[in-house]
C-alpha cells in the first residue's frame, strides 16, 4: 500500500472499523478498495474517462456504508471493516514497472503495470484480516476493466475459495436485486501470474484479467473463507 501512495503528497491511510454486539464470537470482515483517485501512475491511463477515477474508492464506500448500516440497525453480530486508502498518481517518487515489492505477508510481487494497483493494497488488507480469525472475509473493489468487458454493468463478478460462502453471497444478491455472477479460479489462472523474479507478478495480461487479479488476491486470503466481488461495472450508474 505504501508503494502505491508514493506518487501522492497525501499519505496512505489504513482504516479499521470494529462493531461488536456478539462478544466471544469471530467477526465477519469486509475489505474495501479505497483508491481515492487513480491516474494509473506511471502506466498512465488514457485521458478519456479519467474523471471517473474519483470513484475508484467505491469498494471502500460500500464497506463504510455497510458498517454504518450494521451499527444503525444494532445487528447482533461482530463485524470489522478494513479500508486501505490512497491515491495512485505520478511523481518522481512513484513506484515503477520493474519494481519488486514486499507485501505485509512477506510475499513479493513484480510490478509490470502500475495501473494494477488495487490488488496491491487489497493484498495487505487481506493479510491483515487474518489477525481477527474471521468467520469469512468479503472484499469489494472496482478492480478490473476486464470484469466490465465480461459482465457489463448488470452483474458483479464473484470469485471465491469457499463454495458455501459464494452461494450465500449469490443468494443475498438475488434477494436484493444485486446480481453477482461466479467466475472460476483455476490453477491455470494462478500460473498466469507467476513471476521469474518474485513470488508473483501484478498482472497476468489481458486474457482473463478479472480472474487473474482475483488469483493474486487469493494468495493473500489465507486461513479463512473468502469471496471477492469485482464491482467495476456495478459500483455506479451515469
Catalytic positions:
45, 119
C-alpha cell at 15: 482504516
Q: How far is C-alpha 193 from the geometric centre of its chain's CA atoms?
A: 16
Q: What is the full DSSP assignment across 170-191?
A: HHHHHHTT--EEE----HHHHH
Q: How far apart are CA 42 and CA 113, in angstroms?
A: 8
CB 215 within 8 A of CB 146: no
CB 57 within 8 A of CB 85: yes
What single DSSP character describes residue 31? E
CB 185 within 8 A of CB 161: yes
C-alpha cell at 139: 472484499
C-alpha cell at 173: 444478491
Amino acid at each position: 500500500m505504501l508503494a502505491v501512495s508514493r506518487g501522492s503528497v497525501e499519505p496512505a491511510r489504513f482504516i479499521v472499523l470494529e462493531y461488536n454486539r456478539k462478544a466471544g464470537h469471530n467477526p465477519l470482515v469486509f475489505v474495501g478498495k479505497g483508491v481515492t483517485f487513480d491516474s494509473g501512475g506511471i502506466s498512465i491511463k488514457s485521458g478519456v474517462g479519467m474523471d471517473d477515477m474519483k470513484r475508484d474508492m467505491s469498494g471502500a464506500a460500500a464497506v463504510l456504508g455497510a458498517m454504518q448500516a450494521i451499527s444503525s440497525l444494532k445487528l447482533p453480530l461482530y463485524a470489522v471493516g478494513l479500508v486501505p486508502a490512497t491515491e495512485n498518481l505520478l511523481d518522481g517518487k512513484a513506484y515503477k514497472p520493474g519494481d519488486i515489492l514486499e507485501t505485509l505477508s512477506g510475499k513479493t510481487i513484480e510490478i509490470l503495470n502500475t495501473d494494477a494497483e488495487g490488488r496491491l493494497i487489497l493484498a495487505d488488507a487481506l493479510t491483515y484480516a487474518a489477525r481477527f480469525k474471521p468467520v469469512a472475509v468479503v472484499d469489494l473493489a472496482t478492480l478490473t476493466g476486464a470484469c466490465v468487458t465480461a459482465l457489463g454493468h448488470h452483474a458483479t463478478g464473484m470469485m471465491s475459495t469457499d463454495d458455501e460462502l459464494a452461494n450465500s453471497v449469490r443468494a443475498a444478491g438475488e434477494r436484493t436485486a444485486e446480481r453477482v455472477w461466479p467466475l472460476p479460479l483455476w490453477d491455470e489462472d494462478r500460473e498466469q501470474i507467476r513471476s521469474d523474479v518474485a513470488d508473483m507478478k501484478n498482472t497476468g495480461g489481458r486474457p482473463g484479467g478479472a480472474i487473474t487479479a482475483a488469483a493474486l488476491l487469493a494468495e493473500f486470503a489465507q486461513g479463512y473463507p473468502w469471496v471477492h466481488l469485482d464491482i467495476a461495472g456495478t459500483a455506479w450508474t451515469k
